[in-house]
């Protein structure tokens, strides 16, 4: 049976469904329908086809009494959904044909869909890839998160400087979701705890309603579909009639406004936490609703609460939902008569925790007084967890320390399994942040190296390469990505190489056309496209990249008749609105671009472009067109990276450090197909002890000294000597991220890249070897690892 039989679909059916939805669901006549109307109609017609497999999956899970995975995440960075669904249902051709018969261009309609940007970066996108893999592997699962009214802010550049505006994806109706008004839980905050006959009783001062919205997530070839359930905050009382009657019309709306604030907006910081009351409320809001929901389902299915761990695996995506431990214990003790020991034991059997960073500023902690004010019962429960932990292990690690509640320690102690996201990162987790807890709980820490879904990050975003792969090794690789190693037999085959280059060049043309239309920028598509796309952060070192660009510009100017390899340096990424240095780096990149791009001497060799508002949809255009992937973080600081995987899979070799998953990527694609430079994590740690290292490194590098002198001299700032004093001061005086120490090594490695790029055969082989070697990085492999090692969950069938 093909997937089309399974979902009973032909192009004619689809066309009929689209017309019917346009008329009956959208209420529009085809002659008056806008692009937006067509998109709604197409989406609804596609959604219809997801419902059957979705129901069937729910039924099978229920009938087979299968264990369910609950993935709790503050962020799901989904992007657009139409293509996701057409790809997984394998109906792209049909959709194109049906829309054409209706006088519409399918691809124009697809482009009209706004991204669901309910995430900041890697962590949120990982959750979205995991949802795709869970459905593809037919593992019964729910994603639980927040239905933010405003996703990640939109980025604009004004005179090269980032400004932000609110994103508004929900201003139009989101046709992929089903509202579930009957699924709602009261979520409490504040108040005090009293005791009655030895039972704790929480008397909260504030209550909001968590109301469910479900989006089906269908897997490859519609084999299975799971649910993404997002919670929206609503008032328990819609309107304050008393205030209204008094003539206080603003006050009458207060309950509504207050409640909705909780799910109003995604916090835009990726790796710093601020300890804000609203953020804590968001975390408890969605975690509590999710735990109540899974307990209700367990009860509804008639299972004993004492068997919860046989039916439920809860994964905490970072510490954001770490309150799940105390919340589950609270419900078990206060509502189900468990003893504390029994409840702690049960919660631990259900919970797993994934750590995504070692950066100290990212490790969540809450002022104890704030925490105790918002969640008084949980605060008390955390004290009890801490006491039992100390009593059982003799460890002197505390959860509450120096007036703070530390969520990393809480998550660690409450989980039966703690994992890092790359081999190096997991080792460092053991050696650093959780050194002592690792000793107290040996074998609790394990590794699950991140992965990416090949359906979106190859099949869907790169039709040219998809076609070549299938022509070369047949189908099946889409859900068994390690079959890409079959490409290795063709790496030296001239016709394969030519076809591989043709695919890359198609993608570069597509990017060039997109940029021309969007920003009126013209790209030289024969130049190397050198791409760094990710959040802007000091540890990711976009400044290292732009400093190297300036040094290269100097060299070209000094010797304009040299044998230069033309390059286009492409940057993409947002800075957290409050992160001043990251914003300075953005401005510097834009200032350097303005100077260099207008230089007639270097123009044919070097161009810098930075399209604003990088997001998932933009990544889908940039990644397939990339020739060189910049993964240049200070070793020991990038937990994994996942953009590194997407670029390499799409035939873009890496220039990078031994950091995060770069280490494993290099092992899989072969050291000869990876441009390695820079200090190792251990060397970086040593270097920092070497007082005055950055000034010395700058002084011993003529190229770097010259570049910094130019910046200080106002070459890129219209003579303004102070515009970049923050960056310069940082580099000379601290340079914690070792830009100065890695600079010369990076510059030299880039010149090696230039030379190899001129050897077309060698370069093509390298790029194709990257594609062939990356199969292991499918998120299907990652999810199998979690299912086997952490969840004890199985594929159905």
CA-based angle 685:688:689, to the nearest 5? 100
Supply the minimum distance, in Å, between the C-beta of residue 226 and ligand Z16: 20
What are the phi and psi torsion angles at 462 (to 5°)? -135, 70
- Nearer to ligand Z16 by C-beta: 452 or 766? 452
Comparing CB distances to ligand Z16, the nearer of 120 and 472 is: 120
In sequence order, what are the residues at sequence separation of 6 or more whose Cβ sits closer than 8 angstroms to the Cβ of residue 700?
none
The nearer residue to ligand Z16, 354 or 472, going by C-beta atoms, is: 354
**Alpha carbon 329 to its chain's center:** 30
Q: Are strands 225-235 and 141-146 parallel, antiparallel or unpaired?
A: parallel
Question: Of 528, 626, 648, whose CA–CA distance to 572 is shortest?
Answer: 626
Contact indicator for 530, 561 with CB cutoff of 8 Å:
no
* Catalytic annotation, pick one of 455, 537, 540, 574: 540
Catalytic residue among 365, 637, 646, 668: 646
Which residues face 71 on adjacent strands? 143, 315
Backbone φ and ψ for 727, nearest 5 degrees, come out as -65, -45
- Of 121 and 352, CB closest to ligand Z16: 121
One of 357, 607, 631, 657 touching ligand Z16 (CB under 6 A): 357
Interface with ligand Z16, residue 263, by CB under 6 A? no
Who contacts 182 (Cβ-Cβ below 8 Å, separation ≥6)? Answer: none
Q: Is 270 a binder of ligand Z16 (CB under 6 A)?
A: yes
Site for ligand Z16 in 638-697 (CB under 6 A): 638-642, 660
Rounded CA separation 505/514 (Å): 14
Between 362 and 608, CB nearer to ligand Z16: 362
- Residues within window 446-475 making contact with ligand Z16, judged by CB under 6 A: 450
Q: Kindly state the smallest distance separating residue 795's Cβ from ligand Z16, in Å.
A: 23
Binding marks (x or -) toward ligand Z16, 704..743, rule CB under 6 A? ----------------------------------------
Neighbour count for residue 555 (Cβ, 10 Å): 18
**DSSP string for 49-69:** HHHHHHHHHHHHHHHTT--EE
Nearer to ligand Z16, 77 or 228 (CB): 77
Applying CB under 6 A, what is the total number of residues that bind ligand Z16?
19
Q: Kindly tell me the number of DSSP H helices and DSSP E strands found in the chain.
A: 34, 24
Residue 120 interacting with ligand Z16 (CB under 6 A): yes
Alpha helices in 75-233 (DSSP H): 82-88, 92-101, 106-111, 122-136
Asked about 540 being catalytic, the answer comes back as yes
Q: How many CB atoms lie within 10 A of CB 412?
A: 26
Select the residue interacting with ligand Z16 from 87, 123, 139, 400 (CB under 6 A): 123
Q: Is 151 in the site for ligand Z16 (CB under 6 A)?
A: no
Contact 639, 660 (CB under 8 A): yes
Spatial separation of the C-alpha atoms in residues 470 and 477, rounded to whole Å: 8
Name the residue nearer to ligand Z16 (CB basis): 66 or 150.
150
CB of 27 to ligand Z16, least distance (A): 40
Catalytic annotation on 565? no
Residue 18 or 123: the one with the smaller Cβ distance to ligand Z16 is: 123
Active-site pick, 39, 49, 311, 534: 534
Indicate the Cα dihedral angle 480, 486, 491, 495, nearest 10°.
-90
Q: Is 642 a residue of the active site? A: yes
Span from 118-126, 211-219, 465-473, 552-560 in contact with ligand Z16 (CB under 6 A):
118-126
Q: What is the full DSSP assignment across 109-128?
A: HHHTSPPEEESSSHHHHHHH
**Residue 633's closest CA among 615, 654, 647, 648?**
654
Choose one: 45-53, 305-313, 457-465, 634-642; the region binding ligand Z16 (CB under 6 A): 634-642
Binding span for ligand Z16 by CB under 6 A among 25-33, 61-69, 523-531, 637-645: 637-645
Question: What are the φ and ψ backbone dihedral angles of 671, each rounded to 5 degrees?
Answer: -60, -30
Identified binder of ligand Z16 from the candidate list 356, 365, 543, 668, rule CB under 6 A: 356
CA angle 603, 604, 610 (to 5 degrees): 60
Query: Collapsing DSSP states into helix, strand and coil, what is residue 204?
Result: coil
335 is known as an active-site residue: no
Residue 260: active-site member = no
Number of residue whose CB is nearest ligand Z16? 122
Site string for ligand Z16, 593-632 (x = CB under 6 A): ----------------------------------------
Supply the minimum distance, in Å, between the C-beta of residue 651 and ligand Z16.
Answer: 21
Site for ligand Z16 in 402-421 (CB under 6 A): 421
The residue range among 411-419, 502-510, 635-643, 673-681 that interacts with ligand Z16, by the rule CB under 6 A, is: 635-643
Q: Which of 215, 549, 642, 782 is catalytic?
A: 642
CB closer to ligand Z16 out of 421 and 499: 421
Min dist CB 588 to ligand Z16, Å, is 22
Q: What's the closest the beta carbon of residue 75 comes to ligand Z16, in angstroms? A: 6
Specify whether 455 is catalytic: no
Nearest to residue 95, comparing CAs of 77, 78, 113, 115? 113
- Write out the residues near ligand Z16 by the rule CB under 6 A: 120-123, 126, 270-271, 318, 356-357, 362, 421, 450, 638-642, 660
> Known catalytic residues?
356, 534-535, 540, 642, 646
């Amino acid at each position: 049976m093909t997937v089309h039989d399974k979902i009973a679909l032909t192009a004619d059916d689809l066309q009929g469904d689209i017309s019917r939805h346009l008329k009956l669901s959208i209420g529009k006549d085809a002659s008056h329908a806008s692009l937006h109307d067509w998109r709604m109609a197409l989406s609804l017609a596609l959604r219809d086809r997801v419902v059957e497999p979705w129901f069937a999956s729910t039924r099978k899970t229920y009938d087979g009494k299968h264990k369910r995975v609950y993935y709790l995440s503050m962020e799901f960075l989904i992007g657009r959904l139409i293509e996701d669904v057409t790809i997984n249902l394998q109906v792209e051709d049909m959709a194109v044909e049906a829309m054409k018969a209706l006088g519409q261009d399918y691809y124009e309609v697809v482009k009209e869909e706004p991204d669901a940007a309910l995430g900041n970066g890697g962590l949120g996108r990982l959750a979205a890839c995991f949802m795709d893999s869970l459905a593809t592997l037919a593992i019964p699962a729910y994603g639980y998160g927040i239905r933010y009214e405003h996703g990640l802010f939109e980025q604009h550049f004004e005179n090269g400087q980032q400004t932000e505006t609110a994103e508004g994806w929900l201003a139009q109706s989101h046709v992929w979701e089903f509202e579930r008004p009957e699924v709602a839980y009261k979520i409490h905050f504040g108040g005090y705890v009293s005791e009655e006959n030895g039972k704790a009783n929480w008397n909260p001062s504030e209550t909001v309603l968590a109301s469910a919205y479900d989006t089906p997530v269908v897997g490859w070839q519609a084999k299975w579909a799971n649910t993404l359930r997002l919670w929206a905050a609503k008032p328990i009382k819609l309107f304050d009639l008393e205030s209204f009657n008094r003539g206080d019309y603003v006050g009458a709306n207060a309950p509504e406004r207050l409640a909705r604030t909780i799910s109003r907006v995604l916090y835009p910081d990726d790796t710093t936490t601020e300890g804000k009351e609203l953020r804590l409320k968001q975390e408890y809001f969605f975690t509590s609703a999710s735990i109540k929901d899974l307990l209700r389902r367990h009860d509804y299915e008639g299972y004993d609460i004492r068997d919860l761990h046989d039916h439920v695996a809860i994964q905490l995506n970072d510490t954001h939902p770490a309150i799940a431990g105390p919340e589950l214990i609270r419900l078990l003790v206060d509502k189900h008569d468990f003893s504390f020991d029994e409840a702690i034991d049960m919660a631990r059997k259900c919970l797993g925790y994934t750590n995504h960073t070692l950066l100290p500023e990212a490790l969540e902690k809450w002022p104890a007084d704030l925490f105790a004010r918002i969640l008084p019962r949980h605060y008390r429960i955390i004290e009890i967890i801490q006491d039992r932990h100390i009593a059982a292990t003799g460890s002197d690690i505390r959860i509450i320390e120096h007036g703070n509640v530390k969520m990393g320690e809480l998550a660690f102690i409450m989980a039966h399994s703690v994992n890092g996201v790359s081999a190096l990162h997991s080792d460092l987790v053991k050696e650093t942040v959780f050194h002592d807890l690792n000793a107290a709980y040996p074998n609790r820490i394990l590794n699950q190296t991140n992965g990416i879904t090949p359906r979106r990050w190859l099949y869907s975003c790169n039709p040219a390469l998809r076609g070549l792969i299938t022509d070369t090794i047949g189908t099946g690789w889409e859900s068994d990505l390690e079959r890409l190693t079959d490409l290795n037999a063709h790496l030296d085959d001239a016709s394969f190489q030519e076809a591989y280059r043709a695919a890359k060049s198609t993608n570069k043309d597509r990017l060039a056309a997109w940029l021309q239309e969007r920003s009126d920028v013209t790209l030289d598509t024969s130049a190397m496209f050198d791409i760094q796309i990710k959040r802007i952060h000091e540890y990711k070192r976009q400044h290292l990249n732009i400093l190297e660009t300036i040094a290269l510009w100097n060299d070209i100017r000094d010797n304009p008749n040299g044998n230069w390899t033309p390059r286009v340096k492409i940057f993409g990424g947002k800075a957290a609105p409050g992160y001043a240095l990251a914003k300075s780096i953005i401005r510097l990149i834009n200032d350097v671009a303005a100077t260099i791009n207008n230089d007639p001497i270097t123009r044919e060799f070097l161009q810098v472009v930075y399209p604003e508002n990088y997001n998932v949809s933009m990544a889908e255009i940039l990644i397939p067109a990339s020739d060189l992937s910049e993964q240049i973080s200070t070793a020991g600081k990038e937990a994994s990276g996942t953009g590194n995987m997407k670029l390499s899979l799409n035939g873009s070799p890496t220039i990078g450090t031994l950091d995060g998953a770069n280490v494993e990527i290099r092992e899989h694609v072969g050291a000869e197909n990876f441009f390695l430079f820079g200090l190792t994590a251990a060397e970086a740690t040593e270097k920092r002890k070497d007082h005055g290292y950055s000034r010395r490194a700058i002084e011993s590098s003529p190229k770097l000294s010259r570049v910094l002198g130019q910046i200080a001299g106002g070459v890129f700032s219209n003579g303004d000597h102070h515009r970049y004093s923050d960056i310069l001061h940082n580099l000379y005086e601290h340079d914690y991220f070792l830009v100065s120490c890695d600079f010369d090594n990076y510059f030299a490695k880039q010149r090696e890249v230039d030379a190899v790029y001129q050897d077309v055969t060698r370069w093509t082989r390298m790029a194709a070897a990257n594609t062939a070697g990356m199969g292991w990085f499918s998120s299907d492999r990652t999810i199998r690892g979690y299912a086997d090692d952490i969840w004890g969950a199985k594929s159905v069938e």
